[in-house]
Amino acid sequence: MPSRLRRFAPAGVLALAVSLTGPAHADDIPDAPGHRLVESYEGAPAAAHPLPGTPPPQHPYLAANGRSGMHADAAGSGTYPWNGPLGKAPTVDSEKMAALGGECATVTFDRDGRIVTVCGTFTGFLVKLLDPKTLATLAEYKLPQRPSTIEAITRLDFSKIFKDTSGGAYSYLDHEDRLVLADSRRHIVRLAHERTADGGWRFVVDKDWDLTSHVPHDCVSWINLHPSGTCDPVTSVMPDWDGRIWWVTRQGRVGTVDPGSGAVRSVRLDGEEIQNSFSVAEDGVSIVSDHALYSFRAAPDGTPEVRWRETYDRGTGTKPGSVNQGSGTTPDLFGARERYVAITDNADDRMNVLVYRRDTDVPADRRLVCKVPVFGSGASTTDNSLITWGDSLIVENNYGYENITSLTLGRSVVGGVSRIDVRADGSGCDTVWESAERVPSTVPKLSTANGLLYLYTKAPNRLGVDAWYLTAVDFRTGVTRWKRLAGTGIVYDNNWAPVTLGPDGTAYVGVFNGLVAVRDTP
């Protein structure tokens, strides 16, 4: 996941920019040996069968649904109102973003379809503007290294990088096509992209809000290798329906910024950790810590206030396939008939999908709608958001995945994907189908225009080939329709990055070495 920027001048100074006079081409991501020993395509093209239902409400301060962030919209639904590839002789393109690393996690799209993304490298995170067809870099802006990267290099413990969700992975594109993120300096930064006089593109700092008076920041740096104080990374940012920017930190701080006045307010969830993003609806902000699910609202002065809190079974330890001891899901806000919010727990034997009613006036004994155990005994966890549409949820099993070294030499995870539906009368939930597809760590996505669920899968291979596939599954039945080889080797491991569906029907996958694009042949 991502990292951040250099020290900025005051917010009014817009001269902070990096521009490129023309598209900058890198190399394709290389395949590891063995790519000729595996199938490049399996299955057959699918017909589009649109899903009935109502999309999540459009957030007034975010880019249009499907264009704004990792989870596609403010509700965290993971759904797109347009087609992904149907499997018609799909082609694969890729772009290598760095010599080491380069993974582009959150992929967003401006009004003209250009990609705005954050790509993580070992020298620092890069905000990039990409051509959606060629993946050529049109402009980039360098963010400062995260403390976890410096720790990994100096202490030779690279697990710190792979379990750090701070530094811009959870960024969003706002209603004016500006990227908003929290950098490793504890600043919230708003970046616009614009044309230069010579016809190129550049990023400019539109606004910069300093959180350091509210967030401990004695962190590892090249000039402070052994800090004695506290370092609390900012995990995620999102606006509420009134335009306030909410932010959360790993050590349980929840805060807001008034973008007009710059006023910052915050509270602390003592003893709790937040490693996921959060979701927003008109009725409030839903945040999950490693202990409880919360519904928040802002007081008149912007201070976060708890509307309700529900603890869940956090188990007795961190499972292989989880970032911490707690829920791995960003809360999903959904419901065709009632207003629900869903997460998973971290129960020891079998993880459960939990669905709650989210209205404030719900009696305590009616808050929980259902608790559904999923996947096998002793081998179930997820660190990715659910997909929600109508009263349906999709959950995947990440048990066994730790980082890019976990699945080399043909290894895979135990796998599993399930669809669960809330009953029409709200009396509980039922499992509709189960799939054996092995999805190590991706954030899956759903096209409501064609009814296909898009996964990024890896099956065991007795020859030791590490083959990664974009896989399309029928949302209604759970039947796999087709698979297209994205590439082979560790550099094609997506390492927690999502599948993202572009407005032109392309499926993008952030992988360890950059970005992959899969699209139908016209």
Mean pLDDT of 496-503: 96
- Give the pTM: 0.93
What's the full length of the chain, in residues?
Answer: 522
Residue 146 near residue 233, CB atoms below 8 Å: yes
Q: Look up tokens 């995990």; give the residue.
A: 235
Give the pLDDT score at 133.
97
Q: Which CB contacts under 8 angstroms, 24+ apart, belong to 212-215?
A: 212/185, 212/186, 212/187, 213/264, 214/253, 214/255, 214/264, 214/266, 215/186, 215/249, 215/253, 215/255, 215/266
- Which is more confidently placed, 520 or 224? 520
* DSSP-assigned beta bridge partners for residue 471: 455, 483
Averaged pLDDT score across all residues of the chain: 92
Complete DSSP assignment for 138-195 = EEEEEPPPPHHHHHHHHHT-THHHHT---SSTB-EEBTTS-EEEE-TTSEEEEEEEEE
CA distances to 50, 189, 197, 271, 277 from 328, in Å: 29, 26, 45, 17, 10
Give the pLDDT score at 167.
72
Residue 183: is its pLDDT beyond 50?
A: yes
Percentage above 90 pLDDT, the chain = 84
Residue 396 near residue 413, CB atoms below 8 Å: no
Q: Look up tokens 């004994």; give the residue.
A: 365
Give the pLDDT score at 163.
65
Neighbours of 123 (CB within 10 A): 14
Give the pLDDT score at 1.
37
Write the pLDDT tens digit of every residue in 365-385: 999 999 999 999 999 999 999
Q: Where are the domains of the chain?
A: 17-519
Taking the C-alpha atoms of residue 436 and residue 438, their distance in angstroms, rounded to an integer, is 6
Percentage above 70 pLDDT, the chain = 93
Taking the C-alpha atoms of residue 85 and residue 288, their distance in angstroms, rounded to an integer, is 33
- Which is more confidently placed, 145 or 293? 293
CA-based end-to-end distance of the chain:
33
pLDDT band at 507 (very low <50, low <70, confident <90, very high): very high
Write the pLDDT tens digit of every residue in 483-494: 999 999 999 999
Residue 230: is its pLDDT beyond 50?
A: yes
Give the pLDDT score at 159.
66
Mean pLDDT of 16-28: 50
- At position 140, the amino acid (one-letter code) is E
Taking the C-alpha atoms of residue 327 and residue 292, their distance in angstroms, rounded to an integer, is 9
Task: Point out the least confidently predicted range of 138-147, 249-258, 312-321, 344-353.
Answer: 138-147
Write the pLDDT tens digit of every residue in 133-170: 999 999 999 998 877 777 777 777 766 666 677 777 79
Q: Quickly count helices (H) and strands (E) in the chain.
A: 2, 35
Query: What is the CATH architecture of 17-519?
Result: 7 Propeller (2.130)
Give the pLDDT score at 19.
36
Q: What secondary structure letter does DSSP report for 490? A: G
Element spanning 511, H or E: strand 507-511
Give the pLDDT score at 25.
52
